[in-house]
Amino acid sequence: MREIYRTFAAGLARDRAIDALITYMNWRSGRATLERYDHYFRDIEHADLQNTLHATIDRTLRARKPNFDLPSSPIAPRSVPDIVADPHWQFLQHLGGANDELPP
């Protein structure tokens, strides 16, 4: 049944394949029994559809290039004030575990 659901799209071809299986297996109430388990096969179809969709999304995102352009000329870095000697900075470093002892 899984192969039938994976091989044939929903419609007449799938119905014929299911009828052929019922005939081959000589099931007396084959169609009625299979209708009871239809939810199982719909879940399989749904999972296959999701796998296909996610694979397509993944390929699309991996192929997409960024939409932004880098500046043509480098930007000069700004000077950063020397904060190493700042007691507040040293205290924050101590709280973060950077220094073992508290600064004076």
- pLDDT tens, 59-70? 887 887 666 555
**Containing structural domain, residue 35:** 2-63
Query: Could you tell me if residue 46 is inside a domain?
Result: yes
Report the domain count for the chain: 1
Tell me whether residue 8 is exposed, middle or buried, using C-beta atoms within 10 angstroms of its C-beta: 0 to 12, 13 to 18, 19 or more: middle
At 38-95, the pLDDT tens digits run 778 778 778 888 999 999 988 887 887 666 555 565 665 566 556 666 777 777 777 7
In a domain, 103, yes or no: no
Closest CA to 8 of 19, 24, 23: 19
39-53 core/surface letters (b: 16 or more CB in 10 A; e: else): eebeeeeeeeeeeee
Global pTM reads 0.41
Q: What is the pLDDT of residues 13-40, one digit of tens each?
A: 988 998 898 888 888 888 888 887 777 8
Residue 78 lies in a domain: no
**Three-state secondary-structure class, residue 104:** coil
Is 48 part of any domain?
Answer: yes
Q: Which tokens belong to 46? A: 């749904």
Within a domain: residue 6? Answer: yes
CB 44 within 8 A of CB 35: no
